[in-house]
Amino acid sequence: MSECTHDCSSCGENCASRQPQSLIENPHQLSCVKKIIGVVSGKGGVGKSLITSTMAVTMQRRGYQAAILDADITGPSIPKAFGVKQRAMADQVGMYPVQTKTGIQLMSVNLLLEDETTPVVWRGPIIAGTVKQFWTDVIWNDVDFMFVDMPPGTGDVPLTVFQSIPLDGIIIVTSPQELVSMIVSKAVRMANTMNIPILGLIENYSYIKCPDCSKEIYPFGKSHIEEIANQFQLDILAKLPIDSALAEVCDKGVVELFEGDYMEAVCNKIEQKLK
């Protein structure tokens, strides 16, 4: 056997020192993206897209250039939350994200369809390939923080994002139900297996605040997020209430007008962790 030169292109597959080949894809040559954060959930319906949207809005308000890569190909909701209806454009150089009213850059499959209600009936490899193209073919312009809104679960798309996009970390969104603790554990273990840093947990739908007495009511029962955080030694970034006003601005496509400081502490921690 020849002596190892640490150049894996020159050695055989059975070489003991051979390093696994990275699957990370390069962005478009004209793109500039500084920090990339995946927003993950073990199950659907936990408000992941709402949290992604409000984090991007908060970062944009702080003077950063924010962007959202909507990786939820079969259930895209990001354009709806921002009231964006125009289609993304492309030329021989690449694709261009659509900008929201405050300048947040978006790319979503709904921005490529003539009718936003048209279902995307594609098999897994095509969906995963589309997500990869949103990273490699789109020209992202001087982005400070990109948030990747991923579909729930641990299937093709999360795997593609974890392998192909150089994530600086992920945030796992959960809800208080006891069943969720098991599902969150799967997402945590997948991230650990893929060596993706976990920035922390966000519990959504944690409580409702009574409009008359301001008492906190827990419609889903006792929270289990502390148990999960302790088990995996993770930070709890926030516990968010059920807020009909926030849901309403998303439904109306004006999430950039939302009022409240729900994401301030979260974005503070993101800034600290990703300095």
- Profile the chain (275 residues) by mean pLDDT over runs of 10 residues: 48 52 87 96 83 96 97 90 93 96 96 80 83 95 96 82 94 80 84 92 89 84 84 91 89 92 91 87
Distance between CA atoms of residues 51 and 247, nearest Å: 11
Amino acid 10: pLDDT: 55
Amino acid 63: pLDDT: 96
Amino acid 175: pLDDT: 85
Q: What is the pTM of this model?
A: 0.89
Task: Residue 37: name the closest of 202, 179, 177, 193 by CA.
Answer: 202
Q: Report phi then psi at 21, rounded to 5.
A: -75, 130
Tell me if residue 198 falls in helix, strand or coil: strand
Q: Kindly report the number of other CB atoms within 10 A of residue 265's CB atom.
A: 11
Bridge partners for 146 per DSSP: 36, 67
Task: Residue 79: name the closest of 46, 55, 47, 101 by CA.
Answer: 101
Half-sphere exposure of 273 (CA within 13 A, CB side): 21
Exposed, middle or buried by CB within 10 Å (0-12, 13-18, 19+), for 33? Answer: buried
Amino acid 247: pLDDT: 87
Amino acid 206: pLDDT: 87
Task: Residue 184: name the closest of 34, 26, 55, 48 by CA.
Answer: 48
Task: Residue 205: name the closest of 185, 191, 225 by CA.
Answer: 225
